[in-house]
Amino acid sequence: MIDLLDKHKTIAERHARMMTMGVNAVGLTNDKILSPTRAMINGRETILAGTNNYMGITFDVDCIKAGQEAMAEFGTGTTGSRIANGSYALHKELEAELARFLKRKHCIVFTTGYQANLGMMSGLAGPKDTIFLDADSHSSIYDGCTLSGAKLVRFRHNDATDLDKRLTRSEGEEGGRLVVVEGIYSMLGDRAPLADFVAVKKKHGFQLLADEAHSFGVLGPHGRGLADEAGVEDDIDFIVGTFSKSVGAIGGFGAGNHPMFETLRYAMRPYMFTASSSPASIATSLAAIRKLAAEPERRDRLRANSARLFAGFKGLGLDMGCDMVSPVIAVKCADEVSTIGMWNALLEAGVYVNIALPPGTPNKLCLLRCSVSAAHSFDDIDKIIALFGKVVASRAAA
Amino acid sequence: MTASPETIDQICKLLEPFNSTGKALTSDTEISADLNIDSVAVMDFVMEVEDHFDIEIPLNVVSETHSISDLAAVVDARVKKA
């Protein structure tokens, strides 16, 4: 008999190597969450700088109250899919509110952001179609593309000229064409050059989807994401996003103006065959989205904090993931062993960041990835900079 | 499907920068398993192959391609079609 788990032995060895160097960097336990920016980890109060809690909204009293009331009124769970069990009024209310916020005619919510990409990719494209996806796309996009059965063509990251070339190569083939880009890329924090992609769209004709997972609520004058910031919303056919970052809950959404958009509900297996979001999660998402609309100062604080951390790291001479200020600020490190060492040293000194290693990163990069929150104080940001100076910059210089 | 020696030779040249094992590349070399190249690096390598031969090799085809000779056969078939 061949043991099915034998194929994962190299993963087990790699993980065991990591464990000899300190705590589990890819399975850390937060013993207590004290606030959007603080947790007790291994008995220490730790600054959280790797949570994607961009708006710092997870402990907002109104959001918590909305969740508690929804749980009391609608119960703990929905116990099934919306196709089988029906929608709760809250699901419809959230979809209507989100459509208003996004200025889109239609919106469909999913149970997680991952499922939103699985659903949208597989609902939009089928075996006769081609999906052109950015090389640095998130795994949920890759997995959704695979689920679709479409032909998959990968283009060079953020390179509209490369997309143009690959579209030209596929000219004359049957089926529709979907191009997928992201607002802010989760590992390096860089943004898609949307205007360039829109120009290629006008030349070749295809349908364009932007995953605004890290940019929804964060970028643009109205917080609608990169398309809002770049002023090209009319040219983006479909938006995907998540509630697990700026919204501080769990769930995801797809949105668009296409007259047949609602039909996707009956064509997306990751929407049809999974339980719908719990009442508490839907209610907190709804309350948080209303806050994103009503409190633009959260975005201002996030921008100021991000700029401060970016400038601080630049001052330390750190090699960063991109040259533009973004709430995702990644520091490139030399190799896996030193990255794990520095990650442990940062944690011991009282700051939690994400560790990101190949193949989860582009170009085999080893990263210490920070995500900034509107709830960080300048003092928090300065502490993070000082600790990176002590732990990371000093090693890079050594 | 058999591949031309020239194509195999060219693919070996394109693969060499991704080969950190020091193993000699032959037509039978399994690109991912023998060279310990992760899934993202395999896709990056195939992009180099696409651009060198000016062809399209969809990811669905890459997932069914294991050895250098498998990939060379795909390249030859697609160059011919183009």
Region A137-164: mean pLDDT is 98
> Which A residues in the span 127-156 are in contact with B, Cβ-Cβ below 8 Å?
130, 135, 145, 151-154, 156
Shared domain check, A319 and A190: no
How much of chain A is helix, strand and coil, in % rounded to 5? Answer: 45, 15, 35
Express as a percent the part of chain B with pLDDT over 70: 99
Q: What is the DSSP letter of A391?
A: I
Distance in angstroms (rounded) separating the CA atoms of residues A225 and A212: 6
Chain-wide mean pLDDT for chain A? 96
DSSP letters, A213-228, are TTTTTTSSTTS--HHH
Tell me the C-alpha to C-alpha distance, in Å, between residue A313 and each of A329, A336, A370: 9, 20, 11
Q: What is the ipTM of this complex?
A: 0.93
Closest chain A residue to B54, measured at CA: A169
What domain count does chain B have?
1
Contact B54 A153 (CB under 8 A): no
> Which A residues in the span 13-42 are in contact with B, Cβ-Cβ below 8 Å?
none
Q: What pLDDT digit, counting tens, does each position of A60-101 carry?
A: 999 999 999 999 999 999 999 999 999 999 999 999 999 999
Express as a percent the part of chain A with pLDDT over 90: 97
Shared domain check, A65 and A44: no
Q: What pLDDT digit, counting tens, does each position of A336-371 carry?
A: 999 999 999 999 999 999 999 999 999 999 999 999
Structural domain ending residue among the three candidates A294, A312, A327: A294
Q: Does the beta carbon of B64 lie under 8 angstroms from any beta carbon of chain A? A: no
Shared domain check, A70 and A31: no
pLDDT score, position A293:
95
Chain-wide mean pLDDT for chain B? 93
Shared domain check, A82 and A26: no
Q: What pLDDT digit, counting tens, does each position of A6-44 carry?
A: 999 999 999 999 999 999 999 999 999 999 999 999 999
Q: pLDDT category, A395, cuts 50, 70, 90?
A: confident
Tokens of A53: 């809690």
Contact A170 B56 (CB under 8 A): yes
Q: Does the beta carbon of A175 lie under 8 angstroms from any beta carbon of chain B? A: no
Residue A258 in this model has a pLDDT that exceeds 70: yes
Residue A396 in this model has a pLDDT that exceeds 70: no
Q: pLDDT category, A280, cuts 50, 70, 90?
A: very high
pLDDT score, position B81:
80
Chain B residues with CB under 8 Å of A131 CB are none
| Closest of A196, A157, A162, A201 to residue A178, by C-alpha | A201
Shared domain check, A218 and A78: yes
**Domain extent at residue A146:** 61-294
Shared domain check, A247 and A174: yes
Contact B43 A151 (CB under 8 A): no
Region A372-393: mean pLDDT is 97
Residue A282 in this model has a pLDDT that exceeds 80: yes
Residue B36 in this model has a pLDDT that exceeds 90: no
Region B34-49: mean pLDDT is 93
**Domain extent at residue B12:** 5-81
Shared domain check, A206 and A119: yes
Shared domain check, A114 and A26: no
Region A95-123: mean pLDDT is 98
> Which A residues in the span 335-364 are in contact with B, Cβ-Cβ below 8 Å?
358-359, 362-364
Cα–chain-centroid distance for residue A266? Answer: 25
Region B50-66: mean pLDDT is 94
> Up-side HSE of residue A362: CA atoms within 13 Å toward CB?
17
Region B59-71: mean pLDDT is 94
Contact B56 A154 (CB under 8 A): no
Region A101-115: mean pLDDT is 98
Q: Report the CATH number at residue A138.
A: 3.40.640.10
Residue A191 in this model has a pLDDT that exceeds 70: yes
Structural domain ending residue among the three candidates A272, A294, A316: A294
pLDDT score, position B1:
61
What domain count does chain A have?
2
Q: Report the CATH number at residue B27.
A: 1.10.1200.10
Chain A residues with CB under 8 Å of B60 CB are 151-152
Q: pLDDT category, A262, cuts 50, 70, 90?
A: very high
Shared domain check, A283 and A308: no
Residue A398 in this model has a pLDDT that exceeds 60: no
Structural domain ending residue among the three candidates A246, A262, A294: A294
Q: Report the CATH number at residue A33.
A: 3.90.1150.10
Closest chain B residue to A362, measured at CA: B40
